[in-house]
Structure 1
């Protein structure tokens, strides 16, 4: 599948578009543009300040060699930066809130097979990319037109890059709030740590007091965060909602790791595929 390659491309674009600096908080900003391009160049990306730097090296299955505050107990920041959920998850669902707007992403990826990416914005509808070992199919969210290409073509690559870029942005909100471990839960029969937040990370925000929509820290009305991390360091869910006079800032993102089957979407006509 092309997913690993697209993740690398997205991260390269992310790093190239970010300003330098040391140790500052990431500051996701509002996206602009219309629809993801079928030619491989996203027309609606976004920009942000310095992303969180990895502090440990993930293994092939997503475990970390440095798990954070103690043996087998990752921190929210280290898990978000290093568990590589985009590489390991079979189902990714994310929503990024930018005041009065939001962007939604759904990625369903078979372990060895088809992948479906859906990228939704109110102004452009849902752009979709269906990838198999034999062909790719891209559906424009604005016009509904469908384009096909070979498995190594760049048809619809912009959808995948925009979607995965959005998920990366969703995870960057982890650094904007203070986290406290509040207990444990069970996810798919395995133990997981629960972290919660009701306050901003002042140390991080001092580096960028006008985060996101330009609202000052003093204008923030409330903070509500919850994060679930497996004891193996894998991120299961992140929810951060920062209420401001301009609306909600933050993200909801979840990752599933069970094997799944991706059905052929109804808009795909395999007789038109190469």
Structure 2
């Protein structure tokens, strides 16, 4: 009976894995991942990312997140910071993968994303972490068919929270602001959230990442929503952080402000 149960579970995992690949916008790229990457990741990732789940479903969703990031780097004119430790775990494993030249990450990125994407540690990023995250946010929104100033949280920024990545980046959209929670060892949101001011539309405008037209449209919608809320609920204020902590995008933020490794700007 035990062997039958294991076989059923393995079949179900394989079915879900294949379904996730088929449904992904990056189906072709996922199918082209090096065949030895998953087992290598299972061996290497726990050494750096304590408590990380080791199942195939977690892996394919984390790998898809990394491909989403590569897609952002491809279209960005600025260095991008990666807002997911789950995706970063795949990147780090891939960099140490003993593989033939056709499986090398540089060869893969050149083939599927049109360029080599350098892996840059957070401490060595050529721009501030806040700007790197802002660049990723804007491109991810555009690639998802959203206005770059729209109050939305792309899938890449939700990845760690949805996967319950231990000690990951717990991004949430609360009214008109993006907040970052510290995540616990068991992958749950913990502690007081930080307001990610570098990801506010006013900062995106100051960085030169969105147009004045996009910012004006965002402000108009925000004011309308706030007025409706005020008229209908006795003056509640949209965009209130509920926290006095913040990430101002300064060099002191480092990786604690929601971004780990990064990639160079697109060509």
TM-score range, shorter chain: under 0.3
| Larger strand share, 1 or 2 | 1
Length-normalised TM-score, structure 1: 0.25
| Larger helix share, 1 or 2 | 2
The structure with the largest alpha-carbon Rg is: 2
Length-normalised TM-score, structure 2: 0.25
